[in-house]
A and B are shown apart, each in its own frame.
Chain A
Amino acid sequence: MQSGIFHSTYQADMALRRTHAEKIRMVLFLLFMAAFPFVADRYYLTLANQVGIATIGAIGLNILTGYTGQISLGQGGFMAVGAYTAGLLTARLGMPWYVSTLAACLATAAIGALFGIPSLRLKGLYLAIATLAAQEIILWVVTHWKTLTGGVDALVVPNPTLFGLQINTDFRFYWVIWLLAGVSALTTVNLFRTHYGRAFIAIRDQDIAAEVMGINLFRYKLLAFAISSFWVGMAGALTAHYRNIVTWERFTVDISVLYLAMVIIGGLGSVSGSFFGAAFMTLLPAFLTNLGRALKSTFPFVDTIIPFVQQAVFGLVIILFLIFEPEGLRKIWKDIKDYFRLWPFSY
Chain B
Amino acid sequence: MLLRHTKKASEAVDRKALTINPAKTCQPVGAMYAALGVHGCLPHSHGSQGCCSYHRTALTRHYKEPVMASTSSFTEGSSVFGGQANLLQSISNIFAIYEPEIIAVHSTCLSETIGDDLKQITEKAIADGKVPEGKHLVQASTPSYIGSHVTGYSNMVKGFIDKFAFNTGEKKRQVNLISGWVEPSDMREIKRIMKIMKVPYVMLPDTSDVLDAPMTGKFQMYPNGGTTISEMASMGDSMATVATGHFCSRDSAIHLENKCKVPFKLTDVPIGVKATDRFIQAVSSAAKVSIPEEVNVERGRLVDALADMQQYFYNKKVAVYGDPDTLIPLCEFLVDLGMKPMAVVSGTPGKEFAKRMEAILAEKVPGAKFANGSIADMYKLHSWIKEEPVDLIIGNTYGKYIARDENIPFLRYGFPILDRIGHSYFPTVGYMGTLSLAKDILNLLMDYQDANCIEEKFELVM
A and B interact:
no
B contact residues vs A (CB 8 Å cutoff): none
Q: Which A residues contact B (CB, under 8 angstroms)?
A: none
